[in-house]
Structure 1
Amino acid sequence: MSTLEIDRVRKTYGNLEVLKEVSISIGTGDFLVLLGPSGCGKSTLLNMIAGLENISGGEVRIAGKVVNELSPKDRDIAMVFQSYALYPTMTVRQNIEFGMKIRGIPPAHREKAVRAAADLLQITHLLDRKPSQLSGGQRQRVAMGRAIVRQPKLFLFDEPLSNLDAKLRVDMRTEIKRLHARLGTTIVYVTHDQIEAMTLATRVAVMKGGVVQQLDEPQTVYDRPANVYVARFVGSPSMNIIPGKVEIEGGALTAVIDVANRQAARIPGITLSSQAASKYANRKVLVGIRPEMFSVGNGQTQGAVSVDVDVVEPTGPDTLAVFQLGGVEVTARLPPRQVSARTPATLSVDTSKVVLFDPDSEELMN
């Protein structure tokens, strides 16, 4: 049985449709990340799962039970907010045990649960402090501890790391992943940060305009994005989307890309179904190449591309090289010191991971 089923859920505000028949199903122990930019509907969907927003259409089921009309307290969920939502006049211990106290759980059981959560989150030494005496990361741990002691069927995280600085965000990301591994609880997590999505999720739902564009494992979303929007949103730098065309040479597919003032680049070994190959042969396509698919090659390498490097951006472990292909700006991720700005370079492409998109629908071609 799925822990969470979102079945054709809609949300409207007057004539404005914010969510458009969203359907998602995840099993026990899954870590679902709702990923997308501001305004895509991900937080609205999370609030509907939590019972903080009414549902305009469809059903939300938790452990097989329809919860559309249930109040948040009756849904067996625990939510961790972006703002921590701690009571400032209470100690850490009191904040963590407050929900249990309201539900009438005996003091001895409350103390045991608080100790277990504090040990797990390494905040035992903070139990007698007030929230004002804690750092942002410590407050987030307290908020997580308050959720853990409820032992819910479902954890909901609403952009919990967005208020933290970059270093602490990385540390807390690791803590959340470790927490999920230890507890095995089902989590739904909202973020606009695709690095968080890739590192934390077992399933990613990429959203745009109230529609799920792709729901899949993180690596599949990265390697085979469902459309150009997903390709550009997931990955940093994002996937290069380059106008080109497909030609058949000796029964094999080759992507052909124009290069200014040079011979066209020919990238062989493109994989498509026979049906798609016959449909798109000698037609325009969009060629998707991740920056790391480029490597420094030579003129004899099959699929070598000769370019004029415009800008070089050293990042330490690698270098980003920017140049023109197919009339658009393209970025390659290369080892340090292998190319220089305003000089020609010959690059090879890992053709096994090149993907093609229909130029009209912008959908992935299979």
Structure 2
Amino acid sequence: MATLQIDGVSKSYGDIKILKRVDIEIDPGDFLVLLGPSGCGKSTLLNLIAGLDEITDGEIRIAGERVNELSPKDRDIAMVFQSYALYPTMSVRENIEFGMRIRKVPDAERTEAVKRVAALLQIEPLLDRKPSQLSGGQRQRVAMGRALVRNPKLFLFDEPLSNLDAKLRVDMRTEIKKLHQRLGTTIVYVTHDQIEAMTMATKVAVMKDGYVQQLADPETIYDTPASVYVAKFVGSPAMNIIPATFRLTDQGTEVRLSRPDGSVISLRDVAISTEAARQYSGRDVLVGIRPETFHTAPAAEEGAFEVDVDVIEPTGPDTLAFFTLGGTEVIARLEPRSVQSGRSARLNVNMAKVVLFDRETEKRIQ
């Protein structure tokens, strides 16, 4: 286990800036997920940590040691690639122990290490097979075994599940999480899949255009996103972002959302600081409401309001209801069979879960 510190790291190729002053720090045993769309710089950052590319500016430290000038073999890291990168002519056993052979690890030690890792990953029956005789999930286990046998300071995973089908991805997510819990290793994991990030990480760095938009634990990322970008990128369906007007009144804070017929819905007691409430009173804002933050409400419930449901999508355990507020299509995740298409529905919102964003900067108002 090791700490990882990334201080002001930038990467450019000529005039093209890929990473722009990235700052990340994780503790021993953390599972950091670098999350973002293609082209955001997450794989470039992983390559810089691994030593596969040179840093333009900044510093990377592993276990407190600066590694900028160290070659990959001297950084004590192990990497699992998207493509598995297995040697096709070697058996599973030979693939796993290949790195140890190169380092001239004694035979008995190699045998014991392969046995330990094979048991951990439940691939003992596969040790004498060739990669061509394995399924995608089995190949990924072998690739992980080759990394685990090293017992390095840091594990790096570069979109390791993207080549697997949907069911295998779910299974392997669980396996990797179990592995992390058992071994307590420090992991940096690259993905564009927000489900992988939310289910496996202890910390998530959401990236866009070479910047880290937010670094926090998954619950914080989900409940209090730092920007509209993070709010929309994490969550399925994504957080509703609704144009509205904010007011500070004698009764407290109030957000006013317009219906299609021109009438107004008032949401009271938004949780923001007194200073921010004074600053934004009378201004247009963006309101962030997760779909599950809505619920159907009895007529007598304080703060409830009516909406006209355009269409519903029953999913089994719940129903997605679509309607319009603030000129924007809104999605609510509600109880099964609680609303109908083309009918009005009485809803309410858990105001403790509502967040506000600045209309211009799209940053969260605190």
2:320 maps to a residue whose letter is L
Q: 1 CA distance for matches of 2:152 and 2:200?
A: 20
- CA deviation after TM superposition for structure 1 residue 262, in Å: 5.6
Provide Cα deviations, 1:210-250, integer angstroms capped at 9, x if missing partner: 00000001100000000100000000000000011112233
Query: Unaligned 5+ residue runs, structure 1?
Result: none
Which residue matches 2:179?
179
Which residue matches 1:276?
276
Q: 2 CA distance for matches of 1:152 and 1:179?
A: 14
Equivalences for residues 34-113 of structure 1 within 5 A: 34-113=34-113
Which residue matches 2:204?
204
Q: 2 CA distance for matches of 1:261 and 1:189?
A: 48
1:363 equivalent to 2:358? Answer no
1:309 maps to a residue whose letter is V
CA contact (8 A) 1:2 1:25 kept: no
Q: 1 CA distance for matches of 2:80 and 2:177?
A: 15
Which residue matches 1:167?
167
* Further displaced range: 59-68 or 222-231: 59-68
2:253 maps to a residue whose letter is L
Q: 2 CA distance for matches of 1:74 and 1:248?
A: 58
**Which secondary structure does the structure 1 equivalent of 2:341 belong to?**
coil
Q: 2 CA distance for matches of 1:257 and 1:272?
A: 18
1:12 equivalent to 2:15? Answer no
1:145 maps to a residue whose letter is G
Give the 4+ runs in structure 1 shifted more than 4 A: none
Which residue matches 1:307?
307
Q: 2 CA distance for matches of 1:73 and 1:67?
A: 11
**Which secondary structure does the structure 2 equivalent of 1:152 belong to?**
coil
1:120 maps to a residue whose letter is L
Q: 2 CA distance for matches of 1:77 and 1:158?
A: 13
CA contact (8 A) 2:2 2:153 kept: no
- CA deviation after TM superposition for structure 1 residue 30, in Å: 0.3
Which residue matches 1:21?
21
* Further displaced range: 339-348 or 84-93: 339-348
1:57 maps to a residue whose letter is D
Provide Cα deviations, 1:7-39, integer angstroms capped at 9, x if missing partner: 100100110100001010111000000000000
Q: 2 CA distance for matches of 1:244 and 1:205?
A: 29
Q: 2 CA distance for matches of 1:90 and 1:160?
A: 21
CA contact (8 A) 1:288 1:356 kept: yes
Provide Cα deviations, 1:257-308, integer angstroms capped at 9, x if missing partner: 0011163111112111110010011211100000000011134322223111
When the two chains are superposed, the root-mean-square deviation of aligned CA atoms in Å is 1.1
Q: 2 CA distance for matches of 1:315 and 1:130?
A: 42
1:287 equivalent to 2:296? Answer no
Aligned residues: percent identity? 66
- CA deviation after TM superposition for structure 1 residue 43, in Å: 0.3
**Which secondary structure does the structure 2 equivalent of 1:109 belong to?**
helix
1:73 maps to a residue whose letter is K
Q: 2 CA distance for matches of 1:221 and 1:79?
A: 26
Which residue matches 2:189?
189
1:114 maps to a residue whose letter is V
CA contact (8 A) 1:96 1:143 kept: yes
Which residue matches 1:231?
231
CA contact (8 A) 1:246 1:254 kept: yes
* Further displaced range: 276-285 or 206-215: 276-285
1:131 equivalent to 2:162? Answer no
- CA deviation after TM superposition for structure 1 residue 166, in Å: 0.6
Q: 2 CA distance for matches of 1:91 and 1:2?
A: 32
**Which secondary structure does the structure 2 equivalent of 1:270 belong to?**
coil
1:354 equivalent to 2:343? Answer no
Provide Cα deviations, 1:178-210, integer angstroms capped at 9, x if missing partner: 000011110000000001000100000000000
2:38 maps to a residue whose letter is S
For normalisation by structure 1, the TM-score amounts to 0.98
Q: 2 CA distance for matches of 1:56 and 1:251?
A: 54
* Further displaced range: 30-39 or 264-273: 264-273
Q: 2 CA distance for matches of 1:229 and 1:193?
A: 15
For normalisation by structure 2, the TM-score amounts to 0.98
Q: How many residue pairs end up in the alignment?
A: 366
1:194 maps to a residue whose letter is Q
Provide Cα deviations, 1:31-60, integer angstroms capped at 9, x if missing partner: 000000000000000011001111111111
Q: 2 CA distance for matches of 1:251 and 1:63?
A: 53
- CA deviation after TM superposition for structure 1 residue 168, in Å: 0.6
Q: 2 CA distance for matches of 1:216 and 1:96?
A: 34
2:291 maps to a residue whose letter is P
Q: 1 CA distance for matches of 2:2 and 2:154?
A: 11
